[in-house]
Amino acid sequence: MEKEIREFTEYLETVKRLSHNMVLSYRGDLMKMAAYLEGQGTQRVEDVSATMLSAYVLDMEKKGMSAATVSRYVASIKAFFEYLLRERAIAEDPSFFLKPPKVEKHAPEILTEQEMECLLAQPSSNRPKELRDRAMLELLYATGMRVSELIALRVDDVNLRFCWLICRDAERERMIPFGEAAAKALRDYLSLACNTFLKNGSQVILFLNCSGTPMSRQGFWKLLKSYAAKAGIDKDITPRMFRHSCAAHMAARGAGLPVIQEMLGHTDIAATQIYAGFQSGMKMEYSKTHPRA
């Protein structure tokens, strides 16, 4: 079974162009499934049955794995066997009727608008590092991008004249608008700070670290934590909280879910539904307090 898993992960990397981390995640999930099945005496993909896969899911649940984790494993399994069926390595898809456990969706943890304003104000000097950091924080909040997308931005991805940028994820690209606050921070960074970080050659990646190389996820995480501490915010702030806060604040101010879906790059609007509660809260307060509601 390891041969088929290797071929599948090569397909994900070369054809689907998934990130290296995502490919490793698929491989890890599938190797664990293979180990379980081999422990039950099944070594060939052709011999895997729907009953065996259902038993594997039940075994994970009995071991106390969370519904979200089991759902991820089920998604990996289904993608693997769908691939094998397309490649005619198997005659039937044993995962066709496999259902993931229901994952209870909670409202995402966000920063309030006041907390966000305070955090964005922390890199306040005109030193190159703070100009860069201010531009990164403003842009992350303005667009709702993932941090991986932010640090992968190229200089020519950004159109400052029309306040649009091209954002690329693992499978596609999308255009996202941003406001004047982010545009000003970007102009300041590009005109006053960029050359400080550029060590040699021309600049391709938008945000560089002090070594002149692209900013890393860990590097951005550290600077975000330091500014959160400086702002006196005791929440466990993560880059993803910026993404949630952007979407929730837009929903609270009346943005429709399809607009938020397009900005965030969700392929399924079901993933955007977690922000519907912020819309409901706004409408409820409006109906209670507006004199002409």
Q: Give CA separation, 79 vs 8, 82, 85, 116, in Å.
A: 9, 5, 10, 39
* Those residues with Cβ within 8 angstroms of residue 71's Cβ, 6 or more apart along the chain or in another chain: 100, 101, 103
Provide φ and ψ at 38, rounded to 5°: -65, -35
State the sign of the Cα–Cα–Cα–Cα dihedral 43, 49, 51, 57. positive
Gap between the Cα atoms of 39 and 94, Å rounded: 18
The per-residue pLDDT string of the chain (293 residues; one tens digit each, 9 = 90 and over) reads 999 999 999 999 898 888 787 888 899 999 999 999 999 999 999 999 999 999 999 999 999 988 878 888 998 999 999 999 999 999 999 999 998 887 666 778 899 999 999 999 999 999 999 999 999 999 999 999 999 999 999 999 999 999 999 988 766 788 999 999 999 999 999 999 988 898 777 789 999 999 888 999 999 999 999 999 999 998 888 888 999 999 999 988 888 888 888 888 887 676 787 887 787 555 555 455 545 54
Predicted TM-score (pTM) of this structure = 0.64
Among 141, 136, 152, which residue's Cα sits nearest to residue 189?
Answer: 136
Q: What amino acid occupies position 87?
A: E
Tokens of 143: 């667009």
